[in-house]
């Protein structure tokens, strides 16, 4: 297993994983849209993508976005996307991606890392506290769709 920072040369493989990740969250498959989204993140240096490679192919990724906290007045890293292909789940690859994400965030001077998942994702909700994430009991997050 090799966890590393992705480069633009990984675009096609990451885009395929990213599209599968979106389908996991009940979005319609759209490889062109997924590729365009990932390419834009690379070209505009808006995120960091870590990949896990086994036997010459990418089998998982995490995507991190920088944020700022006005309340605590520091930078925080959002581990926004975490995905491992179905046949490799339960083998420690998700943990490895999270660990590499934590190291990268620390090296870059971020003080906090956040992660979110759906309420029904029992596996993630069990894993995250095991590795040190705490459920936020102080804030409730709301979402609004702006293009209706």
Which segments of the chain are extended strands (E)? 2-5, 48-54, 57-69, 74-84, 112-115
Residue-range definition of the domain harbouring residue 59: 2-130
Residue 40 lies in a domain: yes
pTM here? 0.91
CB 21 within 8 A of CB 37: no
Give the CATH number of the domain where residue 43 resides: 3.40.630.30
Residue 146 lies in a domain: no
Q: pLDDT tens digit string along 61-92?
A: 999 999 999 988 999 999 999 999 999 999 99
Residue 52 lies in a domain: yes
* Residue listed under structure tokens 């605590």: 72
Residue 43 lies in a domain: yes
State the pLDDT at residue 91. 94
Residue 142 lies in a domain: no
State the pLDDT at residue 95. 95
Q: What value, to the nearest 5°, has the Cα angle with vertex 148 and ends 45 and 145?
A: 50
> How many domains are contained in the chain?
1
**121: confidence class by pLDDT, cuts 50, 70, 90:** confident
Region 109-134: mean pLDDT is 91
Residue 141 lies in a domain: no
State the pLDDT at residue 140. 83
Q: Is the pLDDT at 148 greater than 80, yes or no?
A: no
State the pLDDT at residue 8. 95
CB 101 within 8 A of CB 62: yes
Q: pLDDT tens digit string along 109-120?
A: 999 999 998 888
CA distance 147 to 136: 28
Q: Is the pLDDT at 1 greater than 90, yes or no?
A: no
Name the helix (H) or strand (E) containing 96: helix 93-107
Neighbours of 54 (CB within 10 A): 14
Residue 105 lies in a domain: yes
Q: pLDDT tens digit string along 8-67?
A: 999 999 999 999 999 999 999 999 999 999 999 999 999 999 999 999 999 999 999 999
Name the helix (H) or strand (E) containing 41: helix 31-43
Torsion sign over Cα 69, 70, 72, 75: positive
Residue 143 lies in a domain: no
Residue 85, helix vs strand vs coil: coil
In the numeric block, which tokens belong to residue 124? 């993630």
State the pLDDT at residue 43. 96
| Average pLDDT across the chain, whole number | 94
CA distance 63 to 42: 11
């Amino acid at each position: 297993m090799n966890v590393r920072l992705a480069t633009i040369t990984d675009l096609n493989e990451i885009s395929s994983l990213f599209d599968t990740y979106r389908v996991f969250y009940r979005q319609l498959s759209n490889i062109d849209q997924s590729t365009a989204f990932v390419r834009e993140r690379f070209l505009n240096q808006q995120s960091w993508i870590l990949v896990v490679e086994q036997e010459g192919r990418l089998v998982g990724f995490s995507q991190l976005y920088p944020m700022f906290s006005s309340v605590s007045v520091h930078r925080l890293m959002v581990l926004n996307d975490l995905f491992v292909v179905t046949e490799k789940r339960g083998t420690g690859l998700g943990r490895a991606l999270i660990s590499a994400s934590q190291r990268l965030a620390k090296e870059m001077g971020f003080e906090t890392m956040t992660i979110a998942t759906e309420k029904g994702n029992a596996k993630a909700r069990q894993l995250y506290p095991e590795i040190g994430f705490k459920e936020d009991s102080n804030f409730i997050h709301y979402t609004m769709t702006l293009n209706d």
